[in-house]
Amino acid sequence: MSNQDTTLDLSMHDRPAMVAAVLFADIAGSTKLYDILGDTRAKQLIDETLSEMRAATARFQGRVVKTIGDEIMCVFRDPERVMLAACDMQTRVNALPIVDGTKRLIRIGFHFGAVIEEKGDVFGDTVNVAARMAGVAKGLQIITSRATADQLPAGMRASVRPIATVAVKGKDDMQVCEVIWQSDDDLTMTVDSLHANKPAANALLALTHNGREVLLSTAVPAATFGRGVDNTFVIGDLKASRNHARVEKRRDKFYVIDQSTNGTFVTVKGEAEMELHREEVMLRGQGMILFGHSAAESTEEIVQFDIRA
């Protein structure tokens, strides 16, 4: 056996467990890309996206274990590197151009723990949990386990928030956390900013529907939309679900989250319309939100949004 470092390169005949951070990332809604763009163009966009994810992996000294279709699996030496790489992946992909009205979104999950390596692949409970974290994530999200988050440096833990408890096969229910990866200038947190615990900005979001305005802030951090009368905004369109979508404030940013059957359509002023299906997107500047149909189909039941400093 070589005397070189074998932290991530163990012989198949000598396979003691080691610790590593395992990350899975895939492209949300890739099947729809093929439907909209056709095989050749969709494959090109997916390859571009995977290339950005590989670049982020290399930047933080990780290794790509394998790529399967639109999914990438990587390993890193510690929780800090894997979180930085995950944030960098989201930033790189978020900056890719919108093509034919379609924005590429990725979802990421990671977990840190014991693994076994054989012939360059990695196996074990940590791999299974990391895959489960990726399964929980939606487009634009990074999800990790609470156990992994607790091993991050204190400054980085400030950018992680518990969100739910999920079932993991063969284990007790596990608490999962979301990594808040976007900084004040809409770029991924750098190493320095991750270690800084900056207070959230006092941003306001004005939502207007049929002449009625609601302001979201730290004091009023969320609003809901749907046909149900208990929503903040009652949407009369029959294509809207009873509990169609919600907007929530996270630190200094506002996100719209689709939870509907027919999708939520979001347009940021000056940009192409985005269609969300059980996904979320960060709101920027001004724009509009529609429920169950595109603005090209109807201009009724529009919610206008305006972010105010």
Q: Is residue 11 part of a domain?
A: no
Q: Are residues 73 and 189 in the same domain?
A: yes
Domain that holds residue 89: 18-194
Q: Looking at the domain assignment, is residue 159 inside a domain?
A: yes
- Tens of pLDDT, residues 59-106: 999 999 999 888 999 999 999 999 999 999 999 998 888 877 778 899
What pLDDT, on the 0 to 100 scale, is given for residue 56? 92
Q: Are residues 96 and 148 in the same domain?
A: yes
**For residues 161-186, average pLDDT:** 74
- pLDDT at position 263 is 93
- Say if CB 76 and CB 60 are below 8 A apart: yes
Over residues 4-61, the pLDDT tens digits come to 343 444 333 344 468 999 999 998 877 777 877 788 888 888 899 999 999 999 999 9
Residue 12 lies in a domain: no
Last residue in a domain, options 143, 166, 194? 194
- Predicted pLDDT of residue 118: 86
Task: Check residue 33 and give its pLDDT.
Answer: 75
* CA neighbor of 102 nearest in space, from 36, 27, 49: 36
- Cβ–Cβ < 8 Å for 155, 125: no
Structural domain contains residue 5: no
Q: How far apart are CA 238 and CA 188, in angstroms?
A: 38
Q: Do 159 and 273 sit in the same domain of this protein? A: no
**Most confident segment among 156-160, 255-259, 287-291:** 287-291
| Residue 184 pLDDT class (50, 70, 90 cuts) | very low
CA neighbours within 13 Å on the CB side: how many for 14?
A: 8
Residue type, 70: D
* 3: in domain: no
Indicate whether 99 belongs to any domain. Answer: yes
**122-131 confidence digits (pLDDT tens):** 999 999 999 9
Span 220-237, pLDDT tens digits:
999 999 999 999 999 999
- For the residues 133-151, what does the mean pLDDT come to? 92
- For residue 42, the model assigns a pLDDT of 84
pLDDT over 90 at 192, yes or no: no
Q: Tens digits of per-residue pLDDT, 237-254?
A: 999 999 999 999 987 789
Secondary structure (DSSP) of 85-136? HHHHHHHHHHTSPPBTTB--EEEEEEEEEEEEEETTEEESHHHHHHHHHHHH
The predicted structure's pLDDT at residue 17: 63
Residue 5, CA distances (Å) to 1, 11, 64 in order? 11, 12, 17
Cβ-contact 247, 269 below 8 angstroms: no
Question: How many structural domains are present in the chain?
Answer: 2
Q: What is the band of 158 on the pLDDT scale with cuts at 50, 70, 90?
A: confident
158 and 211 share one domain:
no
pLDDT band at residue 201 under the 50/70/90 scheme = low
